[in-house]
Amino acid sequence: MPDFSLLSQKNIAPSDRLIFALDLPTKDEALKWVDLLGDAVTFYKVGFQLFMAEGYWELVEELKARDKKVFVDLKFFDVPETVKNAVANLSSRGVECCTVHGSQSILEGAVSVKGAMKVLAVTVLTSLDRGDLDDLGFDCNVEDLVYSRAKRALEIGCDGVISSGLEAARLRAGLGEKLLIITPGIRPVENRQTDDQKRTMTLVDALLSGADHVVVGRPIRQAEDPRGKALEMQAEIASLFAGAKRLE
């Protein structure tokens, strides 16, 4: 029997807990994936790769027109006033959430103008491990740094954080249900160590560790039947939350 004690209690539709990463080179290719996945995916992440292509904002508007939720993952990081102005502009576009990276003053500026949009603080990228932190001059382990940054972000007024599933359990246990946790680096057991993501976890394990949403890209894109893989993941999520509900 799984331990459901850290499972998210937020009022989020199970189908919205899976976020597909549109890490693709062009708007047209991204829309082909949206067409292919159809109703198997309701929530999309659009990041830097597409931002550097033509049609980023047209893609965002098209996703919204199709009743999809949009996560703008641009990791805003600049002087506080510049980030504040960028977040203010973005807040009028009707997206669900965005990512901000940096110091307390940067996060405070973003929070002050976010409106209904959720601001998510970046903790430690899932492509980094302890060796990378040593190279960057951080004299602490990954889990402690993630927790410290998440605690600060919540105190400032951020809605949540981006965090590996490996740190999600400590965040949920220590910082409570209010914190929104979005977890990238989702990998099947058999290929966790075969790409650039170093701190990874399976979908079910991440949710049981307290993640509210999981971001999935390559495991769906590289599947023989991508839509079928997305539906399989949606079924896993629905089953997990239904099982927890039966025990209430």
| Residue 108 structural domain | 14-246
Question: What's the whole-number mean pLDDT along residues 93-109?
Answer: 95
> Could you report the per-residue pLDDT of 57-78, keeping only the tens digit for each?
999 999 999 999 999 999 999 9
- Tell me how far apart the alpha carbons of residues 57 and 97 are, in angstroms, rounded to a whole number: 15
pLDDT at 196: 46
Q: Is residue 20 part of a domain?
A: yes
Question: What's the whole-number mean pLDDT along residues 100-116?
Answer: 95
Using pLDDT thresholds of 50, 70 and 90, give the confidence band for residue 248.
Answer: low
Residues belonging to the chain: 248
Which two three-digit tokens encode residue 227? 């839509």
Which two three-digit tokens encode residue 41? 């995916």
Would the pLDDT of 197 be above 60? Answer: no
State the CB neighbour count (10 A cutoff) for residue 202.
17
pLDDT at 134: 47
Q: Model's pTM, two decimal places?
A: 0.90
Would the pLDDT of 198 be above 60? Answer: no
State the CB neighbour count (10 A cutoff) for residue 246.
7
Neighbour-count burial of 152, counting CB atoms closer than 10 A to its CB (0-12 exposed, 13-18 middle, 19+ buried): middle
Number of structural domains the chain divides into = 1
Q: Which backbone phi and psi does 152 adopt, to 5 degrees?
A: -65, -45
Single-letter amino acid, residue 225: D
Share of the chain above pLDDT 90, in %: 74
DSSP state of 223: S
pLDDT at 128: 47
pLDDT at 140: 59
Using pLDDT thresholds of 50, 70 and 90, give the confidence band for residue 103.
Answer: confident
Q: Is residue 25 part of a domain?
A: yes
Asked if 27 is an active-site residue, the reply is no
Q: Is residue 232 part of a domain?
A: yes
Match 């599947």 to its residue by tokens: 223
> Could you report the per-residue pLDDT of 24-46, keeping only the tens digit for each?
999 999 999 999 999 999 999 99
Q: Is residue 218 part of a domain?
A: yes
Options 64, 75, 118, 151, the catalytic residue: 75
Q: Is residue 2 part of a domain?
A: no
18, 41 Cβ separation under 8 angstroms: yes
> Could you report the per-residue pLDDT of 112-171, keeping only the tens digit for each?
999 999 999 988 655 545 454 445 455 556 778 888 889 999 999 999 999 888 889 999
Q: Is residue 5 part of a domain?
A: no
Instruction: Look over the chain and give the mean of its residue pLDDT values, rounded to a whole number.
Output: 89
CATH number at residue 199: 3.20.20.70
Cα 45 → chain centroid: 8
Q: Which backbone phi and psi does 243 adopt, to 5 degrees?
A: -65, -40
- Tell me how far apart the alpha carbons of residues 15 and 135 are, in angstroms, rounded to a whole number: 39
